[in-house]
């Protein structure tokens, strides 16, 4: 009996050590991938600084306003593709995640990446179900001209200079969009920003 208990104890210890090792290895691998993503975006930013802009948006409705104030102003405006109830719900869900830190692979308010943020908000606010990654999300819906983009449309970028979609955000108004950026977390950004203007690929309407 004593010998059996000893063997079981040793097996338990071995299992715990193995699990701890797996967990440590997984975290190390994730951190390495996050670092590679940051470095790739930095190289991409340097490259795209040399490209020409695709479009400049003009508007003064949101000048000098905080992200929260921008969302409040948007609630009072009317957009052709959203009812007032849908608008309120979308803005409330976006505000709920504002300032959440960026985390590659993250899916919660403790940390979230760009595609999970878009997937979560669009589902909770509008019932639109999207795939998990930005690349897969870019295959959903109908592509639209940037001149026709409206609140709730998705906009896609090649921020990592990979030749394909690597980032996504939700368009708001006057060139503004909300996203989970690797440096900012969930925040409102502008397509007038050189980096986003030059890495922009296309827009999609998914509802």
> pLDDT tens, 86-126?
999 999 999 999 999 999 999 999 999 999 999 999 999 99
Q: The CATH number of the domain where 110 resides is what? A: 3.90.1720.10
Q: State how far the Cα of 90 lies from the Cα of 174, in Å rounded to an integer.
A: 17
Q: Residue 171 above 80 pLDDT?
A: yes
- Residue 45: burial class (beta carbons within 10 Å; 0-12, 13-18, 19+): middle
Sequence-ordered list of residues with C-beta below 8 angstroms from that of 113, at least 6 positions apart, any chain: 102, 103, 104, 105, 106, 107, 180
Q: What is the pLDDT of residues 190-203, one digit of tens each?
A: 999 999 999 999 99
Residue of 107 and 8 predicted with greater confidence? 107
168 φ/ψ angles, rounded to the nearest 5 degrees: -145, 150
Q: What is the pLDDT of residues 50-93, one digit of tens each?
A: 455 557 777 778 999 999 999 999 999 988 778 989 999 999 99
DSSP string, the chain: -HHHHHHHHHHHHHHHHHHHHHHHHHHHHHHHHHHHHHHHHHHHHHHHTTSPPS------TTTT--HHHHHHHHHTS-BTTB-HHHHHHHHHHHHHHTTPPB-TT-EETTEE-HHHHHHHHHHHHH-----SSHHHHTTSSEEE-GGG--TT-EEEE-TTSSSS--EEEEE-STTEEEEEETTTEEEEEETTSHHHHHHEEEEEE--
107 φ/ψ angles, rounded to the nearest 5 degrees: -140, 25
Count of domains for the chain: 1
**What integer is the mean pLDDT of 21-46?**
60
The answer to whether residue 167 is catalytic is: yes
The answer to whether residue 114 is catalytic is: yes
Residues of the chain with pLDDT > 70, as a percent, come to 73
**What domain range is 193 assigned to?**
1-207
- Residue 22: burial class (beta carbons within 10 Å; 0-12, 13-18, 19+): exposed
> What is the overall mean pLDDT for the chain?
85
Is the whole model's pTM more than 0.75, yes or no?
yes
pLDDT band at 161 (very low <50, low <70, confident <90, very high): very high
pLDDT of residue 57: 79
Residues of the chain with pLDDT > 90, as a percent, come to 66
């Amino acid at each position: 009996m004593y010998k059996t208990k000893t063997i079981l104890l040793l097996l338990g210890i071995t299992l715990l050590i193995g699990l701890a090792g797996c967990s440590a290895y997984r975290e190390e691998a994730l951190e390495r991938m996050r670092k590679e993503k940051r470095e790739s975006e930095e190289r991409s930013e340097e490259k795209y600084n040399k490209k020409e802009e695709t479009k400049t948006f003009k508007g003064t409705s949101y000048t000098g306003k905080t992200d929260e104030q921008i969302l409040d102003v948007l609630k009072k405006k009317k957009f052709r593709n959203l009812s007032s109830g849908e608008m309120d719900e979308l803005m409330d869900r976006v505000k709920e995640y504002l300032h959440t830190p960026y985390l590659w692979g993250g899916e919660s308010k403790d940390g979230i990446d760009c595609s999970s943020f878009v997937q979560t908000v669009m589902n909770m606010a509008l019932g639109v179900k999207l795939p998990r990654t930005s690349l897969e999300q870019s295959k959903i819906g109908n592509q639209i001209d940037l001149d026709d983009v409206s609140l709730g449309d998705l906009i896609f970028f090649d921020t990592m200079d990979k030749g394909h979609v690597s980032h996504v955000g939700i368009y708001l108004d006057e060139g503004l969009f909300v996203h989970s950026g690797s440096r900012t977390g969930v925040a409102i950004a502008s397509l007038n920003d050189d980096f986003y203007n030059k890495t922009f690929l296309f827009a999609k309407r998914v509802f």
